[in-house]
Structure 1
Amino acid sequence: MQRIIDYYYTHASPWAYLGHDAFLTLADKREYAVRFRPVSLTTVFAETGGLPLAKRHPVRQAYRLVELQRWRAYRNIPLTLKPAHFPVNPELADRIALAIAVDGGPVAAYSLAVFQALWTDELDIAQENVHRAILDRLGLNADATLAQAGEKPIIERYMANQAEAIETGVFGSPSYVLNGEVFWGQDRLDLLDTALADGRAPFVAP
């Protein structure tokens, strides 16, 4: 089997942010490559029965805020519970990440910078100027990368990610897929680590 973990996530997800560095450190420790697969949760939720945050029961919304505080403290990562620009459309960020990944660029560093822009600096990641600043800091050609992110191959790849995520059984962000087995949520990283260490066959639904 290929030593690859598919990383399905969206840049609007605080959970993807909280688990981002921990996941990448884990994959590196176990000597697995990461395939970055940004997805639109709007599409995934529509096909798998998920609800956007605003449509969830108030009890679920309140518990989410408690869990964010717990994991923020546990991971020791700064995170604003209710940032100024959330909800936000993350499609531009997702497509830029795809464009960077296609060229073998620093997609991990880019995604972390976008997470921090939204969840720490309270910037609007739907705005192009936010990404220009990030790309410049990473030493990337902002004009070329933004243009590529809007081209047909990247848009088609982004759409393909949605279809492949749903077909694989992904229904939320982040999801880590190892040999077809889905590990949903950054709180499943210990289970993913065990699977990587054991090299076992994937668990499947009976």
Structure 2
Amino acid sequence: MAISPTVLTVDYFFSLLSPYAYLGHAALLSVMREAGTRPRYRPVRIFELFAANGGLPLGQRAPARQRYRLVELQRWREQRGLPLNLAPRFFPVDIALADRCAIALVEAGHDPAGYMDAAFRALWAHDLDLADPQVVARLLGGHGFDASAVMAVAASQEVGNVYDLNTQAAIAADLPGLPGYVLHGEPFWGQDRIDALRAALISGRAPYVPD
């Protein structure tokens, strides 16, 4: 179903490769429901975002940052009450197919939230390979979608163009990484900023912008 232009939306930038996007997914949707707001799902080419805005792929980060990431993931895993494997078998992985399927669902007017949750869990809890078309097809089929049709659209140039546009929009929003949520042009980087996003939505305050 198309989103009414009168309904406030929040740009939800993510990649199914991101453990932090997984940890924040359900929490974000809960805040959206509470605030009477809807997410605009925008999968992003995460490594292009890193290259443009100063982020680094995990293997290129300083050892201290890599160790701290593991501590943070354990904290948030406990706080969110979600299963999360700190060292999944298939990570990093080429996430393009899984991300593009989310775009294909959005472009067809479907809500991708359930598929996204299943895909996040496939990678981060169940040690499945999201680069494997058979795995992605099962996830789509498990949520009532015609997997062959969705994957055909996902392979199209049109979906590739949307993937590129989403990535450029995330770069332009000054997001250093994912997930990122943008409300009235104000960026909220990281699932640990969901409470700040909620406060902005509930209060209706004007967006903060760089001086």
Same fold (TM over 0.5): yes
What does residue 139 of structure 1 align with? 144
Give 1:91 deviation, angstroms: 0.9
What does residue 127 of structure 1 align with? 132
**CA offsets 1:27-54 (integer angstroms, 9 cap, x no match):** 1110001100000111111111111000
Q: Which runs of 4+ in 1 moved over 4 A?
A: none
SS in 2 for 1:106: coil
SS in 2 for 1:182: strand
* Ranges in structure 2 where 5+ consecutive residues have no aligned partner: 1-5
CA distance in 2, matches of 1:151, 1:169: 28
1:10 is the counterpart of 2:18? no
Residue pair 2:185, 2:207 contacting (<8 A) in 1 also: yes
What does residue 105 of structure 2 align with? 100
What does residue 56 of structure 2 align with? 51
TM-score normalised according to structure 2 size? 0.95
**CA offsets 1:59-109 (integer angstroms, 9 cap, x no match):** 000000000000000111000000000111111111000000111223001
* Ranges in structure 1 where 5+ consecutive residues have no aligned partner: none
What does residue 172 of structure 1 align with? 177
CA distance in 1, matches of 2:128, 2:139: 12
Q: 1:140 to 1:2 in 2, by over 3 A?
A: closer
TM-score normalised according to structure 1 size? 0.98
**CA offsets 1:119-168 (integer angstroms, 9 cap, x no match):** 00011101101111011111110110000000111011101111111112
Q: Percent identity?
A: 46
SS in 2 for 1:37: strand
CA distance in 1, matches of 2:16, 2:192: 17
What does residue 159 of structure 1 align with? 164
CA distance in 1, matches of 2:172, 2:63: 30
Counterpart residue identity of residue 205, structure 1? P
Counterpart residue identity of residue 37, structure 2? Y
Give 1:205 deviation, angstroms: 1.1
CA distance in 1, matches of 2:188, 2:173: 11
- In the comparison of the two structures, how many residue pairs are matched? 206
